Structures are given as C-alpha cells and as structure tokens.
Structure 1
Amino acid sequence: MLQLFVRSVCVLWLPLIVQAAAACLCVAQDDQRLQFFEQKIRPVLVQHCYKCHSAQATQVRGGLLVDTRAGLLQGGDSGPAIVPGDVQAGHLLSALRHEGLEMPPDRRLSQSVIEDFRQWIQDGAVDPREGTVRVERREIDLSQGRQFWSFRPVSPVAVPMVGDPWALGAVDRFLAEGWAVAGIPGFPQDAAPQTLLRRVYFVLTGLQPTVAEQQDFVQRYAQAPEQVLQETVDRLMAAPQFGERWGRHWLDVVRYADSTGGGRSMMLPDAWRFRDYVIRSFQQDKPFPQLIREHVAGDLLPAADDRQHDEQVTGAGYLMLGAINYEEQDKEQLRMDVVDEQIDTIGRTFLGMTLSCARCHDHKFDPIPTHDYYALAGIFRSTRSLTPGNVCGWVTKPLQTGVDQAAVQAWEQRDRELQDQIAQLKKQAAAQPAQALPGVIVDDDEAELEGTWTQSQVQRPFLGRGYRHSGMPRVGTAATYRVRLPSDGEYLVRMVINHGSSRAESVPVVIFHADGETETSVSQRQPGAAPGGFQELGRFRFEAAAEARVVVKAEAASPGHVIIDAFHFVPVEQIGKLAASGVAGGNDAGKGAAANLKRLENERKQHTAKKPAMPIAMCVSEEPDAGDWHLHVRGEIRNLGPVVPRGFLQVATPVDVPVTLPKEVAGSGRVQLADWLGASQNPLTSRVWANRIWLNVFGAGLVRTPDNFGAAGELPTHPALLDHLAWQLMHEDKWSTKAMVRRLVLSRAFRMTSQDQLWSAAQDPDNRLWTRSMRRRLDAESLRDVILQVAGTLDLSVQGGPTIGKLSTYDNEYRHADYPLVCRSVYVPAFRNSMLDLFEIFDAANPNTVTGLRNRSTRPAQALYMLNSQLLTQQSESAARNFLALYDSQSPDVSAMIGDAVRRCLGRDPMPAEQQLLQSAVQSDPRSVEHWAAVFQALYSSLDFRFID
C-alpha cells in the first residue's frame, strides 16, 4: 500500500517536473559547456595544434583542420576527428594519447588536458567557431556595445499604476502591467496559509516549520495576514539560520570547497574560516560593496581593530578558492592559470560576464577586447597567490584576534636570529672547501648564461653561493665557463653534481682543450662519484696562452631540470692533495662548521615546536614587482605582445570615467578594482546581485542565466523591474541584501499559488510572465537538513568552526562517514573529489566553477536513494522512535498521529486518500517502530516532501 502511495504521487507530478527541469538544465549546461570550451579546449588547440592544422598553417598536415568545428567534424585523411557525444569514435583522443597517431608530435600532453578533451567530446563538443578555413577579424565597437541592455546605465524607473487592489507594492505592479500587456485576464490566487508558511521558511532558513508553528501561523494569519506575515519574516531573518541559508547561496557562486582541484587533490584546512565569514556577512547584512572590497582586496584595507583585520583578511580568501593544479611544473603557466581563474570568477560572480573568453582573442559575443582581459590580468599577476616549490602552495596570513602578540614577536625575532646564523654557517661551509681545494674553480656566477636560469640554495651539495637550475620547461638553455689556466699541462676536469630525481638523466657537456673538443654526458639523477658531489669528466691538456672553455648544453638534455654549479680544473700533479681538502671530509675547520650547523638546526627545530598559537587564513598578498603586464598573443604565456596598462572593462565604464589605474598606484590595483566593481556607475554589479536575490526568493531569475548577462545569456523577462530593483538596491536599500529579500518575500507576487490556472497555463506556459509561483525541488542541502530535522537528529547548535578533522594537507582519501554529520549541510566538508551521495544525486553545486543556478535533474537514482539509502533508513527509524515518544498512551489516536506525521513532513494536513492509506499501514500495531519508520520513509520519498509549492 505504501509503495502504491509513493507511485501515485510520483506519476501525478513527474511530467511537469521533467518539463521544467529540462528547460532549466539546458540553459545552465549550455553556458557551462561553452565556458569549458573557451577555458580548457580552445587554448590547447591554439597553442599545440594550429601551427600544423589551421588555415594559417604553411602546410596542413593530414588534411585536418582544427580551427573550426566543421574541420573537426569532417576530419582529415584518417576520418572524423571527433563525433560529439561519442568518445570512442573519431581519432582526436587517440592521437592526443599517442596511440598510433601522435598529436602534438614532439610530446604527449598531460593526462589532465587529455581528460578535458574527453569530457568535452562526451558533453557534445560545444564549439562556437564557425566557418571552414577563414576567420574574419572584427573590431569591437564599444559605443555600439554600450547599447546592449546590461551595459546601459542603471536609472530610476517609473512604477506602473495598477487600479486593482491585488498589487501591494512596486514588484506586483510591474508584474501586473506585464499581464495586462499580454492580455491575461484576472489576477492569480494566493497560496494556502500552510503552503505560504512552508515557502517562507525554506526561502529564508532552508528548514521546515514545526507543527506548532504551522498551527499558530494559520490561526493568526486568518485574522491579520499582513501583520502576521511581517512578524514571521522578521523573526526568521533575525535567526542564525538565515545567514546559513543565504551564505550557502553565496558559497555556490564563489566556488567554495575544502580541497583543491586540478591534479592531486589536497586539503584546504583553513578554508572553513572563509565559509564562516560568508555566513556571518549575510547574517550581519553586510553591504554588498563592502563584501566585494573584502573579497577582492581585504588584505589591503585599513582596519580599526584586530577583529576587523581578521574579517577582511579572511574575506580575501575568495581569490584562493579555485580548482588549481598546484603540481603544474611550468610555474609561469601555473601563475597565469591562477590569474585566469581569478578573472573568470570575478567576472561571472559580480559582473555576469565570461571574461576568460577574451584570454586568447577578443570575446566572440560580447564587447570585451583581449586588451581589457590583460588590463585585469596585470592586477592579478601583481597579486601573490602561490608559494614556491616543486608542488606550489597557497598563501596564508596570520590572524590577530586572541593572539599574544608580544610572545609571537619574541618568537619571530629569535627564529630570524637562528635562520640568519644557519644561513651564515652554510655560506661559510660552502666557501671554505672551495678555498681549500687545489687548482682552479670556476663557479656558476662567472658563467655566460643563455636563457633564464634561477639561482637556488634549496639542496646541497653546492659550492659558492649556490647553484642555478634551468626550470621546467627549460628556459635556461646553455652555460659557458671560460678560464685562463696558470700553466700548460694536463688537468683533471670535475663538475659539481647537485643530484635529484627530477633532474635530467643525460646532460651534454663539451670540454674545449688544446687537442680539440670532447663531448661527454653526465647524469644529474645520481650523486657525483667523488667526495663533495664532484663528477670527474676526464683528463685533458690545456695551454696557458689559450682560453679553456666548458659548455653545458641544457637545451639538448633529456627530460628534467638541468643544474649548473662549479667546474674544477686540477693539475694532475696536485690530484693527491684532494684527499686533504675540506671537501674530502678531512680538515678540522670543516668538521667544526658542520657540528655548529647541526647544533643550530636542532635548536631551531626545538624552537619551532614552541611556536605560539597563531591562527591563519587563506589569503593573497602583493607581489613586490607589481605593475602592468604584456598581452599574451593567442593566450600563449611566452608569446608576449605589448604591455597593457592595468584597468577595467571599457564597455562597463562610463566614457567620462578613467578606465586605467592612475600612475601613482604602487600596488596591484585590487583596491581600485573593488571600488570599480561596487560603484553605482557600474551597470552590471547591481543588476547581477538584484537578479541573484530574486532567483533565490522566487526560484528563477528575471535573467534566467544569472552568471551570463552577455549576448550568449538570456534577456530579462522584465527589464524595467530588474532596473527598478537594481536602483532600489543601491539608493534606497543602501545595498542591504536583507532589505530587498524582505521586500520580495512580503510582496503579493511571493504569495501566488503554484497551481496552474487555465489562462496562465495557456498564455504563460514557461512562467516567464510570473503568473504563478515556481514549484521547485528542495536543494540538496535543504533536503538533507529537513530529513534530519523531521527525524529529530539535526543539531542546530553547530554554527561554524573546523569540520574537516585532522587529515593532513596531502590526504587524498576523504571519508565523510568520519565526520559528525548531524550539523547543517552548509558545515559538511565540501571535497571536490568526493561529495556526499545525496549531494551528488540531488545536484549540489559544482565547487569547481561559479554556480549561480544549479542543475535540476530528474533521475531514477533520486527515487532509489530515497527508498534504499542508509541515511533514509536510519533517519526514518529515528523519526519513528522520537515521534512515538510523544505519545504515551498504549492506545493512541492513530488518525491524529497520521495527521501529525504528515504535517511534520509535508507542512500541510493529509488528504483523505493519504490519511486512509497511511492509517491502514500502522493500524495493526500503532506502537511499532518498524511500521512508523515505513510511514516516515514513504513521506520522505513523496514529491510533496521534496518540493516547495
């Protein structure tokens, strides 16, 4: 009988749900897939494939063109390169994997890039490039671009006059005017009081009203509806659950996660501070421009006290939350990828613009030239987000609240002293053996360098002040050592080997001597055979009158870093003296220096263990070399074009306002960017934020593509209403989010029934005229929270703090079962590579990208999860036990109990058929936990539980 009940409810609503879900899903997915192509696919094709497979190629290889979608579909001599949706067909993927065909021919691309192509093809190979062989270059007309609706200045809009008393405020009048223009007769009916209350609770708190709250509201609402609704709204907006609910909306947009993305996923153990900061910000109703300033430049803002300092520094963690591959070995590529991610996120978060589409070329749809992209790139390239290393890290900053500053300063001073002493001893230890060695030393400081070599002292052994490495990919290409030896004769030539597993296995070295030249090869993966890290290259005859020369040919080495340090020329008659040198381990000075060094290093280790507690937050900082940067031709990091002054989007800046940073700006320019983003003259920010608020109140935006206000996005359903709200947000509400939320929730439009009326179904099938309330499914977090709430297991006292546990930074296995998951879902760790099953099945936000509108899918797995998952089984049993504890009588009123259970789960009274069906399920044993667990699981599984009317 219970299965029949669930099935009947599903059959009734399924067609409508599928139709609505499909429409929303297509809009969101098309936009995301276009962004995926522009960010992940096009740059790779341009950098690695266009040289041989484009209309500009001197000779098109294999008859294949990849610079258009048509070229990829048609393919070349071997057949189609891709078949959208079918990763097994086509030759492109196999060629990228070097399975037979090899693209590019010189080296195989990384596995992550190949996976991007596989995902792109599987998702339909969205590709906006048109044509076959020629691409016409167009010049962007900024004057014409400013005529597009989203780039026009936000101006006050006259509120329409509506004679009918149905309209209570401006929002209602704008909608009513639209109905009149469309010829829609009459006005929508209001939702039932219980339905309205449930809607208000979920919109403002993401939770369900209790049975007592339902009964109280219905009784009082009948007497004074306006007053009771206002009191309820004000009470809920003052509750901490409001900040948790609306903070979760914002965490979707800012791509919050507790782990990195890209390659190996690593823990972000301090990301929770940003999450809690967001929740506080919305609970405190922080003005939106202030939120922008803290997100973009919080580390640079003046602070009145430690609390404000910590709040602002934590807010700047926004720039650090992207899915970044910190293992990338091309550090300049990594740096620019971080910059691109930050530009893309800021563009879509605050402006509703897909700015990263202008990284390689002028934007194909919107009036955003590549020049504007690199004007912003200069700002973020002047911002430090990474810490150096083979695997880079992220920047953090200490917080000040609750810290013993005197103890910290004393500890830091002693730590600096120890570091200085250790560094001085290391220099002495390096210089002393070099001075004691017989013969002639030529260090890397004296070498003639080709390309860019980076000096380092990270790893021993080395002579002198350190060594140099070529980088990966190699930007240091060669090094030439020249020396005049004191006398004719035979010399042993030795080379210092600073070995490591990431070094090149074979490095060509050419020795030019009196008898000609000799080329040999050395491995830098193994230590030198001689004491001190020296590798002997051979004995050669040199003449004092001629120059001796050694060349390290890094560009011809095998894969890996190439290291250069000192070369040693030892007269053969002095070879015996090597054993007595400090490098060979013999003299007392060397032993004494080593002992002192070891003592100091042990002392610093003990000192580090006594470091005072200093909480830290993810943050960014300023680069010391902040300044303008080059345009990258076709987006290639080493194909530098002209320097672009740092600045902002021209099309979104009034013509009488400077678009570039003033020359006196010494830092990155992030403060100025934040001010530009939050300025009332900016035509985008207020519209985008007003639309996001509307979306989270009504279930869909006035602009149905909330992250794209450009030409590829949708036009607003009510442009005048959107401009009215944007103007009101800035000038009347002073950017108060709560003020606008309150106004919208108290509107008559918010009270509309979700049921189709004959005229609305025919004339407004997609509800673009807002003739009815949007019936929407609970988001994944609210679904989980209300399951626990009904079961009586939800702990609302958990309001922040770390929830990750003690996993290390490099742990890859995240076990959600290890966490106390009775807290609200906003506090559940968000791991990019491991979501809760419920979150994944019910379309939680993708933490890898800006998500203003979640996917809304309808899949068999959702119904199966509600019927079979361990969570539902456990919570249904808990709900039954806690429910039965309320009824002491051995012969309870089963009919009343059924009504109570339905109101707990669905927020309404049971319908007669529901009452009869559920009552028959427990009538045989009204005290059975098993029977009542089945009742609660059936109610959990019903569509009315998972949807808001």
Structure 2
Amino acid sequence: MIFSLRNFPSFLALGFFVASCQSPSSQEEGLASGDQVSYNFHIRPILSDKCFACHGPDANKREADLRLDTEEGAFAALKENPGKFALVSGNPSESEVYHRITSQDPGEVMPPPESNLSLTDSEITLIKKWIEQGAKYEPHWAFMPIEKPQVPNSDWGANDIDPFIFKKMKEKGLSPNPEANSFALIKRASLDLTGLPPTPELLNKYVGFENGNTYEKLLDELLSQPAFGEKLAILWLDISRYSDSYGYQDDEYRSQWPYRDWLIHAFNKNLPYDEFLTWQLAGDLLPNPTKEQILATAFNRNHKYTEEGGVIHEEYRIEYVLDKTNTFSKGILGITMECAQCHDHKYDPFSQQEYYELFAFFNNSKEKGFEGDVSQSKPAKTPILWVEQEDLDGILSFINHSDTTKLSISVMGELDESEKRTTYILDRGVYDAPTVPVEASTPASILEFDEVYEKNRLGLAKWATSRENPLTSRVFVNLIWQEIFGKGIVKSAGDFGMQGDLPTHPELLDWLAADFMENDWDIKRLLKQILMSSTYRQSAEISNKHLEIDPDNLYLSRSSRLRLPAENIQDLVLASSGMLVTELGGPSVKPYQPSGLWEAATSGRGTLATYVQDQGDKLYRRGIYNFIKLTVPPPKAIIFDSSNRDRCEISRNRTNTPLQALVMMNDPMVLEAARVLSTKLTEKHKDPEKAMDEAFLRILCREMKSKERSLLKDFYEEELAYFSSNPEEVEKTLNIGEYPMNEGAMTPQNAALMQVIMSLYNLEETITRS
C-alpha cells in the first residue's frame, strides 16, 4: 500500500521533508579583545591550511628545511640564506614569511601558484599584525593541560554552564531566547535522554512543572529509565564499530551482541567513564579480572575480519592491530593518528615512530590474522570468552540470553611474556616491511608515557584516564555536548588536532572537562548538568537576527532543531503507536526490509546469504537492536544517516533528502504503526475528535491548536467519505504488517483515522527534536 497524498492537509504537506540540518560552516572567529591576535585561534589555522604541508611536522615532505609549526624552526636562520629569517619578532618587513605571502613574483610568492592555495587579504593582514605584536607561538590548545577556568560573572543562567554561553552571546550581539514551554521541554529531554517520546502519562504528570513535579525531577526520572542506556549506547556502538557480521566477501554472522548488552548495562548503572574506558581497553589485564571486565574488551574486537581462503595471515593480523590503534586514537583521544601510519603526520606533531609506539600496545594480542578452516565460520574468533548459564545467573545477569546454549564473544587476551612480539616501524605502513624496533609508548606532545605505567594496554588505559591527560576528558564532554546540541563545542569531534575546528567556547570546554574529572567521571551527572542549564532550556524559535548573525547556532542563543537519529525515528513510531517491545538487550533482530538487498550484495555463501525476516515481537524492538550486516547495512537507517559501522565514527551527518520523506510515507513499519494506533484509538474513543487528540499528543507530544484541529477534522471527514464510497479500498489500506487485527476493525473509520495518523508521522515536527 502506498500512502496517498490525496487531499492532504496543507499545513501537514510542509512536513514531508524532514528537519533541515544546520549547514556546516567554518568558524570565523574575529580578533580577540584588545585587538590581540592569537596564534592558536587566528594564525595556526591559516598556517595549517596553507603552509604546514611543506613546512610542517613531516620531515619527508619539508621544503627548504623550514618549519613553521614550531617557534624554534620559524625563528631560526634560513638554511638557504643564513642572513635572513622566516619570522622576526615585531618586524614584518624583516620577516621572509611576510615578503613571500605579499610577493607578486610567481617564483617567490607563497604558497606557490602550483599548490592551488592562496591567502586572502584578511589572512595576510592577520599575519602582519601577529608579527608586529611579536609573533608569539602557543602550544596547541588541545594538548595543553586542563585547568578549570573561573566562571564569568553573569546575570543570566541556571548553573555554571550558562555564564560562558552568555558571555559569547553578548560578544556576538545576541541575547538568549526565553525558556521553552513545558511540552517542548518534556519532549526534548525525553528524546535526548531515552530516545523515546514521552508517554501521555509522563506529559500529564509534568506539564507546567507544578505540584512538586519539577523539571529536575523529570530529568531524574528519565535518567533512571532502562531506555537511557539504550539511547547513549548508540553513540558508543558507532565509536566501537559494532556489527553483527564480519564484513569482507562472505560476511558471515558473529555473536558480539553480549558486548552491546554490557554497554547498555554500563551506562544504566553509571559506570564512571575512567573505569568504562579501562575495562574496554584492558579489562583482561586487571588483577583477577571478572568475566564482565573481560567481556568489555570486546570493544577492541569489533572490527572487520576476513574469512577468505588464501589470505596472508600476518597481513590481516597487522590490519586488525591498525584498526584497534586508530579506534583508540580517534574515539578516545580525538586525534587523526592514522595519518602517521605511513609517514610523519603532515599537520600534527606525531611522528611515524610514535604511531608504531602506540600500535605496540595492541600488538601482543592472542588474536590471529586468519582462523584456518574456511569451510567452517564460527561466531567468535580467538581469543574467545565463553558465557555459561551460571554466568547468566550471576555476574553477567544483564545479558539477555533465553536458551541454554553457551555464548561465545571475541575478546582480548595478551600473549605470555615469552611469546611477546617485537614491534617495528613499518616502511610506508606495509605489513612485511619492518624497519626499526620500537617499544610501547604514547605521543610526547600529548603527555609523556611515564615509567609508572605498565607497557601494556592497562598502562595505556591509566595514561588515557590520567588527570594530566589533556584530551580524554575534553573529547568525551565534547561528544556529550554534540549528542545534546547537534554539534560539539569542537565541531570536528574526531579531530582535536591542528586541522580540526577550533572550539567555539574554549573556556567552557575546559571547565566541563575539569569538572567532569573532579566529579569522578560521572556521565549521568554531566548530562543532567547540561540539561539543567538555561542554555538547554531555551525555545527553538528563530528570529531574523539569529539568521543574520548566527545561522548555524554556534553561539546557542536558541535551542537547536535536530532530526532524530535513525534508530530513534523507529523508536518514536513504535512507542507512540503502542507497538514497542521494551525488552532490554538480546540478539539482533531482522525487521521489515526490501526483498533482494542481501542477495544482490553477497557471495551467495553462508548463513547470511539470504535475508530471513523475524516474526512476532522481534519486529517491534528498538532500532538499536536491528541486525547490521557490514556489506549491506540496514537501508532505512542508512537513508537517515546512521553509521555503516565498518570503522570508528564519532559523528553522524544530518541530511535532508526526498528519500527520507519516501521512507516515512511508505515504510511498512510506519504504515503498520498508523494502522495499529488507529485501531486502538477507535476502540477507545467513540468520538473521532478525541481519538485524533490522543494521536496528536502521542506523536507530537503537545496539545493541538484550534486551526490544526479544524484541518485534521476536515481531512478525516474527507477520508471517511472516500473509504465509505470505496469499501474495497478499506482492506487494501488496513491490510499492512503482521501485527494482529480483528476483522471487525476493517472499517472506513479506521482507514480514515489511519490516514490522519500517517499525516502526523510525516510531519517534520514529529521526527525533529527542538
């Protein structure tokens, strides 16, 4: 059945296309107060974009033996002309850099014309002013120790977050929006903390925030719900590249889902972030580790595996270690360390040697490059954690496993001391081209790897969660900010290096990072702190001034409008219709999917060669549990910008395409949900207006306005007349999905109400958190 646009209400027609994303734009930071030019915020971005490729950290690509990324290099005498200097403090006319960037001679001008790079007049002016002011260098902001700034004085705000935001607003000529109404806040907080719309009961309980049912109590209630762990786990599943298959050609099944159950459990019990990381990186190396701590190390084993015959074992073993190294550096440290796999990093102070020193922490796993028998795929690869029934009755009781078979999960295990491998720098990153041996260590520019740390993954975890580490806390609080506001304080959440975006509110980022560590890395406290702020509670109304000064809402003088993540769109539809099965955890499920997709993109071998849709309650579980086959990820989720999970991803796009509207109009799950909700409401309410009132409240999470009620009533009457005159269309319309329905429900009234509900599901407002 194709959802009809026949006589669709005009105000609803606008809702076909989902929430428009805020288009990305680079931060255009003006001069700091007092007209002072900052190296970090004004000069380094210019040099990084236009100069560091030839005059930066990579010695192999460096021209004229000139480094502009370090103060020593920039102020040293030029090798080719010892009487001259690239920079002379306070004197642009004596600085070769200024001469070269202002030269009209194609043979002298920098960047050279063949690079297709050039400096704008404003960039040249900034560099000149910087030199006049002394050409002072600063350490890269992200590698500087985290010190807690003083909270600015402010006459606006509910907690210490707001003065930082308000200060920047005032600098930009903006003022905060008023607080959103209670309906909007309840929906916003529920979607942000649980990924589910508020029930009518929750809305009625907290509307107006009266009689002791305060906004803070709402947050506490939402944070305590099991759905909280499911919502936050989606972020970490993207980071940990979780999937239900191995990838590559045959793409067979693997049983990593108990790791997902642990992840949900860890977030729900509020495991401190430093422990959360330590268990995942090195739970097997803790003293007397529990099976739960070992299970957490499945984080490292979620990468792709080959099961193709004839592969070179060592080549793929190295590939798996590279993946672990890159996931750690990107997902936990927020740096592009993978750029140094083949050569010194071109922009950041990471050498190829430092890359392989980091690589060395993961190079002594018992993991194999190839398991052997290509005729027999197994759901877990060596080393394996076996989960017995007694574990499910004890320490691993959070794993949702209903039968009596043993579970197998790929986890970490370290080689014995006598078996330890020597790690080498690999020439150009090639697995069979070892050069110089190295020992496990970390990039010195971030934090020296002290002798107090063990030279294994446990030592790496301690280093990462050290109070002195400048990145780990900054990166995580930025990820949480991104989850709530759609963009991080640093927009490039996976790149805190010199090519990454500058923080819009650097002092706030440091304050949050320091406060997070001071308060025992408490994740729920951090989320509540953000949601309690006046910044978060603003309305989403947009004025012409907003659009003129801050169209991308970088400075947060209004609430962000964000289309829901793919998984939560499914959750909203199922929850609002009453179909959602709230069972926590368990194996992945295969929902409705267009036929032939798997078959068209498979080798034709193995248990996943053919898509076998699940039945019954499994069809109505949350989106987090949808089966992810790496070679054919869930199509609906991909259309709504979910990660395909073949590598570590810490940010998703939010696009706006016609395909998304077509999914919402034609997806069997959405049509079925509209049919089921229609049936329930017509049975509950004799008056169709009351049925529409409840449908609106369930889906939009607010009360209808009079104009909306009038339009929906007219639409319902038109559809009722149509189905009454065309009884053969009733069954065609209602006969959708596998959810049971009584024959007595095959009525024109149900079909008409279903059309009304479908129109509500297709509103932009429905799948937008604002």
TM-score greater than 0.5 by the shorter chain? yes
CA offset at residue 743 of structure 1?
0.7
Residue 19 of structure 1: how far off its partner (Å):
5.9
1:238 to 203, 221, 224: 224
Matches within 5 A, 1:84-483: 147-162=139-154, 164=155, 166-184=156-174, 186-219=175-208, 221=209, 228-269=214-255, 271-303=256-288, 309-327=290-308, 329-386=311-368, 388-389=371-372, 391=374, 394-399=381-386, 402-403=389-390
> Whole-Å Cα distance in 2 between the matches of residues 400 and 334 of structure 1?
27
User: Which residue does 2:444 correspond to in 1?
Assistant: 650
Q: Which amino acid aligns with 2:353?
A: H
With over 3 angstroms needed to count, the CA separation of the structure-2 counterparts of 1:857 and 1:287, relative to structure 1, is: same
Counterpart position of 2:753: 932
C-alpha distance in structure 2 between counterparts of 1:299 and 1:326, whole Å:
26
Q: Write the mapping of 1:475-874 to structure 2, written as runs, cut at 5 A.
A: 614-624=406-416, 625-654=419-448, 658=450, 669-731=456-518, 733-796=519-582, 798-803=583-588, 810-813=606-609, 815=611, 817-818=613-614, 820-874=618-672
> Does 2:708 correspond to 1:914?
yes
* Cα contact 2:177–2:541 (8 A) shared by 1: no
Contact 1:376 1:646 in 2 (8 A): yes
Whole-angstrom distance in 1 between the partners of 2:204 and 2:752? 26
Gaps of 5+ in 2: 27-60, 63-111, 116-135, 393-403, 591-597, 599-603, 721-746
Paired residues of 2:588 and 2:626 also in contact (CA < 8 A)? yes
Superposed displacement of residue 804, structure 1: 5.5
Question: Does structure 2 conserve the Cα–Cα contact (< 8 Å) formed by 1:703 and 1:715?
Answer: yes
| Deviations 1:216-261, CA, capped at 9 Å, x for gaps | 3224x1566xx61111110111110111111122112111111112
CA distance in 2, matches of 1:229, 1:784: 26
Distance 1:145 1:642, change over 3 A: farther
Structure 2 CA distance for partners of 1:151 and 1:385, relative to 1, 3 Å: same
Instruction: Encode CA deviations 1:885-926: one digit per residue, 9 max, x unaligned.
Output: 212x3xx2x333322221111111223332112111323759
- 1:387-443 per-residue CA deviation (whole Å, 9 max, x = no partner) reads 5426597224344664499xxxxxxxxxxxxxxxxxxxxxxxxxxxxxxxxxxxxxx
CA apart distance, 1:4 = 5.8
Q: Distance in 2 between matches of 1:870 and 1:759?
A: 42
Asked if structure 2 preserves the Cα contact closer than 8 Å seen for 1:310 and 1:401, the reply is: no
Q: Given residue 672 of structure 1, which amino acid in structure 2 is its aligned partner?
A: G
Relative to structure 1, the CA distance from residue 840 to residue 736 in structure 2 (aligned partners, 3 Å threshold; closer, same or farther) is: same
- Structure-1 separation of matches of 2:656 and 2:237: 24
CA–CA distance in 1 between the matches of 2:356 and 2:307?
Answer: 23
Tell me the CA shift for residue 2 of structure 1: 6.2
Aligned residue for 2:760, secondary structure, equals: helix
Q: Distance between the aligned counterparts of 2:554 and 2:501, measured in 1?
A: 12
User: Whose strand fraction is larger, Structure 1's or Structure 2's?
Assistant: 1
SS of 2:620's equivalent in the other structure is coil
Residues 380 and 4 (structure 1), Cα distance of their counterparts in 2 relative to 1, 3 Å cut: same
**How far apart, CA to CA, are the structure 2 residues paired with 1:223 and 1:401?**
49
Name the aligned partner's letter for residue 268 of structure 2.
Answer: Q
Task: Describe the superposition over 1:270-302 as per-residue Cα deviations: whole angstroms up to 9, x where unpaired.
Answer: x11100000000001111111111111112222
| Cα distance in 2 for residues equivalent to 1:904 and 1:613 | 40
The 1:154/1:171 distance shift into structure 2, 3 A limit, reads: same
Letter of the 2:607 counterpart: D
Q: Relative to structure 1, is the Cα distance of residues 701 and 404 closer, same or farther in structure 2, using a 3 angstrom cutoff? A: closer
**Which amino acid letter does the alignment assign opposite residue 168 of structure 2?**
G
Structure 1 segments, 4+ long, off by >6 Å, are 129-132
**Count of residue correspondences:** 606
Post-superposition Cα deviations, 1:315-343, rounded to whole Å, max 9, x if no partner, equal 11111101233437121211111111111
Query: What runs of 5+ residues in structure 1 fail to find an aligned partner?
Result: 25-53, 56-128, 133-143, 406-611
User: Which stretch shows the higher mean deviation, 754-763 or 5-14?
Assistant: 5-14
Question: Are the counterparts in 1 of residues 641 and 655 from structure 2 also a CA contact under 8 Å?
Answer: yes
Contact 1:647-1:661 within 8 A present in 2 as well: no
Q: CA deviation at 1:192?
A: 1.5
- The one-character-per-residue Cα deviations of 1:342-386 (angstroms, maximum 9, x if unpaired) are 111111110001111111001112111001111122221211222
Q: Is the 8 A contact 1:10 1:943 kept in 2?
A: no
Per the TM alignment, residue 812 of structure 1 is displaced from its structure 2 partner at its CA by: 3.0
Mapped partners of 1:6, 1:641: distance in 2: 70
Deviations 1:113-165 (A, max 9, x none): xxxxxxxxxxxxxxxx9978xxxxxxxxxxx9981111010011100011x2x
Q: Counterparts of 1:640 and 1:7 in 2: how far apart (Å)?
A: 67
The normalised TM-score by structure 1 is 0.60
Amino acid at match of 1:833: T
Deviation at 1:634, TM superposition (A): 1.5
Residue pair 2:15, 2:765 contacting (<8 A) in 1 also: no
Counterpart in 1 of 2:674? 876
TM-score (norm 2): 0.74
- Whole-angstrom distance in 2 between the partners of 1:701 and 1:5: 38
Q: What amino acid is the match of 1:190?
A: E
Query: In angstroms, what is the RMSD of aligned CA positions?
Result: 3.1
Kindly provide the CA deviation profile for residues 668-701 of structure 1, in whole angstroms up to 9, marking residues without a partner as x. 7111111111111110000000101111122221
How far apart are the structure 2 equivalents of 1:741 and 1:809? 45
The structure with the larger Rg is 1
Pairwise CA distance, 1:7: 6.0
Aligned AA (1:213): L
CA contact (8 A) 1:255 1:322 kept: yes
> How much has 1:816 moved relative to structure 2?
5.8
Residues 750 and 10 (structure 1 numbering): CA distance in 2 closer, same or farther, change over 3 Å?
A: farther
- Is the CA contact (8 Å cut-off) linking 2:9 and 2:715 kept in structure 1? no
Q: Identity, % of aligned pairs?
A: 26
- Partner deviation per Cα, 1:701-733 (whole Å, 9 max, x = no partner): 1111111111222111100000000000001x2
Paired residues of 2:295 and 2:385 also in contact (CA < 8 A): no
Indicate the SS of the match to 1:188: coil
CA contact (8 A) 1:750 1:773 kept: yes
Distance 1:5 1:945 in 2: 17
The residue identity in structure 2 corresponding to 1:389 is G
